[in-house]
Amino acid sequence: MNSEDFPAGELTNWPQPAGPENYTGDGRLKKRLYEKRLRELQEELVKLQHWIQVQNLRVLVIFEGRGSAGKGGVIKRISERTSPRIVRTEALLKPTEREQSQWYFQRYVPLLPAGGEMVLFDRSWYNRSNVEWVMDFCTPEQHQEFLRTCPEFERMLVRSGMIIVKYWFSVSYDEQSRRFAARNEVPLKRWKLSNMDLEEHRRYLRYSMAKDTTFQYTDIKQAPWYVVPSDDKRRARLNCISHLLSVIPYKDIVPDPVEIPDVDESKPYIRPPMAEQTFIPQVF
């Protein structure tokens, strides 16, 4: 498929920009319009997943950024209405001792999309040039080797036919502080506030240096970085999903409604008494 055959952005009726009446006094998008636009975009994501499956495309979407920048929120909205067999999320844990001895990219390779799949990386191999460098978890030599190798690795993936889309969620220091404080006040959200998050917040400026250096080496033509301003989570989610839909040309090939068959009664069957089964307590 040639992308020129189906120009991105012309495949669907894109939502028009919101008027000033849809924003709060501090410039944040109001909930009502956000939910309406999100439903529209999620319908388009379903169309995209069908296209990816039928065309046997391999799509990798990378989400990076500081803690609390909103990566997990947009990933949740992308995958909320799509099939987990087609749109799959990967978020690797801390590497094991064996994985630490491997070639750095090795443990990510098995997670890459096969034909007919879109994989969402909630953080990725860019841990090396961001979190690991900021927190001194890697040596200067490992950091430099990553910056040399990563562009070639991604070019190789693109040459193989993979589509790579990279997003950096950008959150300000004041907004990150506000989100951390809000998490700290709610016990159900306090698990999101790890010691690593607190230390990254303290090293906010060093994280800025890490991001700028990462972009300097890896913002390549074949797989460019796209920055998502995320101080307003609602706007960030809608803008990111809209952009993702615009950079992967697709057509609406969602199947038509099917006829639901009646039960097959050709082989009579008498079920055992319901009283022989153990049911859970009906509390509600």
pLDDT for res 20: 81
pLDDT digits (tens, 9 = 90+) for 97-111: 999 999 999 999 999
Residue 9 has pLDDT above 70, yes or no: no
pLDDT for res 17: 66
The residues with which 89 forms a beta bridge, in sequence order, are 120
Report residue 3's pLDDT band, with 50, 70 and 90 as the boundaries.
Answer: very low
Whether 118 and 87 have beta carbons less than 8 Å apart is answered as yes
Residue 10 has pLDDT above 70, yes or no: no
Higher pLDDT, 2 or 49: 49
Residue 242 has pLDDT above 50, yes or no: yes
Say whether 47 sits in a helix, a strand or coil: helix
H-only helix segments in the chain: 31-55, 71-79, 97-100, 131-134, 140-159, 173-185, 195-202, 204-218, 233-247
Report residue 192's pLDDT band, with 50, 70 and 90 as the boundaries.
Answer: confident
212: left (phi over 0), alpha (psi -120 to 50) or beta: alpha
Report residue 16's pLDDT band, with 50, 70 and 90 as the boundaries.
Answer: low
Q: Where are the domains of the chain?
A: 20-256
pLDDT for res 27: 85
**Token output for 207:** 């994280």
pLDDT for res 21: 87
- Residues 158-174 as b or e (16 or more Cβ within 10 Å = b): eeeebbbbbbbbbbeee
pLDDT digits (tens, 9 = 90+) for 33-92: 999 999 999 999 999 999 999 999 999 999 999 999 999 999 999 999 999 999 999 999
pTM for the model stands at 0.91
pLDDT for res 56: 98
* 129 secondary structure, DSSP code: T
| Residue-by-residue DSSP string for 208-256 | HHHHHHHHHHH--SSS-EEEEE-SSHHHHHHHHHHHHHHHS-----PPP
CATH number of 20-256: 3.40.50.300
The residues with which 141 forms a beta bridge, in sequence order, are none
Task: Share the mean pLDDT of the chain.
Answer: 93
Burial (CB count within 10 angstroms: exposed 0-12, middle 13-18, buried 19+), residue 188: exposed
Query: What is the distance of C-alpha 142 from the center of its chain?
Result: 26
Higher pLDDT, 54 or 2: 54
pLDDT digits (tens, 9 = 90+) for 126-165: 999 999 999 999 999 999 999 999 999 999 999 999 999 9
Give the residue-averaged pLDDT of 112-137. 97
Give the residue among 112, 110, 150 at the shortest CA–CA distance from 130.
150
